[in-house]
A and B are shown apart, each in its own frame.
Chain A
Amino acid sequence: VNYEKLRKHVSIYDKNRAAAKKERSENS
């Protein structure tokens, strides 16, 4: 398994989740 690629994709996933959470809290 390409660990660096896995880390990069998890990092993108975390950033997207944080952005979605921020957007939800701003809308509420």
Chain B
Amino acid sequence: YAVSGSVWQKRDLSWRVESFPISLSQEITKQLIESALLAWSRESNLRFYRTTAEDADLRVSFLGGPHGDGYPFDGPGGTLGHAFFPGIGASAGATHMDADESWTYNEATGTDLFAVAVHEFGHSLGLTHSSAENSIMKPYYQGTVGKHQNYRLPPDDVEGIQALYGKLSPSLDATHDSITTAHLTLFSYTGRKIVHPAEKAPPAPTQRFVPPRGPTYRPGLPHPDRCSAHFDAVSSIRGEVFFFKNRYFWRVQATKQLVSLNPAHLGHFWRGLPPDLPRVDTVYERGNDSKIVFIAGTNYWVFKDTVVEPGYPRSLTDFGLDTDGVDGAFVWKHNKKTYFFQHNRYWRFDEQHGRMDPGYPRDSNLWLGLPPDVDDVISWTDGHTYFFKGAQYWMFRDGNVEAEPDSPHSITLNWMYCAVANPPEPTQLPEGRDQRGCTCHC
């Protein structure tokens, strides 16, 4: 067994169920919760009593999807529940079950609420996950444990709970037996509250604060969601593909593996961009010296590796571009020339000679199958050219100037590895309002 390092400083703990699943009656749910707690109190000095008070020590809720604690639920299967370790704070003692599971008990089908509740209460009492063969604290759901009335904790978990709260003392044994009987009689629930002797003296709260674990214990920064982002710029740098959105970016390696599902912060990796720069329009790796060019508005910066060169920003007029910016830029591997795109036009720049090729701009519909106003373009290590716009991309095989017939494809599906192929269109609604126009009060 393994312990979290925090315990309840009292032995009498109150509990209540704050919300219920739709697949089980409230009465059955309360019976199963009470029985799950009994599994732990039977082996230790702990005693549990049900209360209707909102400040109960252990609070069980059935919740769906994201619910504000950093551990979003994911519908049927996947994550089933979680509980917070003992300590002071709003979350301590909270036990959350995924409301979207098909909760059952003592059945081969569905998810056994009793088995999951015993596991989660182990966390509520201070135990962490165990790798022991038969432990109820193994992190993976192991199916039903049979009739809850007959359930006894495996030896590993008995040792764990006794290490935290001591063995059931003989003096309390008789009391515990009567409580046990009382609990069991409640399986034909009367709704009456168990009045426990410990209720006479209010339990003293623990003084130790233990922050919630997992995704929430690292300070989070608000960042865009890769699955709904329409990217500002996409760039092929050193064989990887960088997707930029606002002041963040994602990296996809040559193996097409996302380095991280969370984006990295632009200004802390690419050093030297203005701290108030809201976004970049395009980025490309120069063909002649492998330096990296960032373009935003009518300015550009040249980077040697990840640090900006002195003397920047400079104006796009250096390239002979007399525009108010560019949408995309890339170096085409088939002629080593740099292409700039804006709206329905494109230019070809000769980096070797530092001048724009004559005869440009041209109409971008010379790239057959390409929509106007692309977001960006890359020429990747596989030799193909990819144009990105919105949530889609168009592939031009090898040196072809005609899109593959099955284009466009989904960026979110094939590059960002999201479950949904088509994210919603960007909205002009202010922050806090969703696509349906509903105001969020969370």
Binding between chains A and B = no
